[in-house]
Amino acid sequence: MKIENILPADIERRSMEIIESELNDIKGFSEPELKILKRVIHTTADFDYCKNLKFSENAVRSAFDALSSGAVIVTDTRMAMSGISKPAVNKLGCEIQCFMSDPDVAEKAKQLRITRAAISMEKAAQLYKDKNVIFAVGNAPTALISLNKLITSGKISPALIIGVPVGFVNVVQSKEIIMAGNTPYIVAEGRKGGSNVAAAICNALLYQLYDRESGNLF
């Protein structure tokens, strides 16, 4: 087997070329959605996302409008938070928050005997009720379940929910709840997902507004 001699700076470009060649002119995605799909595949090397990644109508447009207006991105893990492009976020005047490690979140979750992810969504709703918020959930289905309750009770109206928790318990059901609602979503249907996927989707959105080479906005 021949090993390709590729400069570090060209590895991502070559990876995207391979992904494009294997997608074989896939149908059913808009160009902005296709860029998100490619980055998720680049992150996971998993072409099942061609079937699993679902977009609500105008989800990408809603995300672009929010990000261009200085949105808050709320994640359910520090891992997802750390994987999102800080230069892009800063250039757009956005911010990223994760409340999972906050002492008040941990204490309330312990008192109520529910997950910190659920409480962290409640905290975000209290802080950002009147702001453009994008929720990027890559780990905890309870975060999606909590978000659905907050939305139906009128406590928050997110610009976008990225619903890609991974696992087995309530994962599929929590995603179906989000897809059945009226909030714009990007969801990885089924069991697959992860914090890396949540970050990849955020970056794929950001990179359509922010030029990584020049550091300028498109």
Active site (catalytic) residues: 42
Region of residue 206 (left: phi > 0; alpha: psi -120 to 50; beta: else): alpha
Is residue 38 classed exposed, middle or buried when 0-12, 13-18 and 19+ CB atoms within 10 A define those classes?
A: buried
What radius of gyration, in Å, describes the C-alpha atoms of the chain? 17
Dihedral, 82, 87, 90, 95 alpha carbons, nearest 10: -20
* Dist CA 11 CA 17 (whole Å): 10
Quote the CA–CA distance of 1 and 140 in Å, as a whole number.
41
Element containing residue 96 per DSSP (H, E): strand 95-97
Cα angle: 122, vertex 150, 128; to 5 degrees:
55
Spell out the alpha helix ranges (H) of 92-152.
103-112, 116-127, 141-152
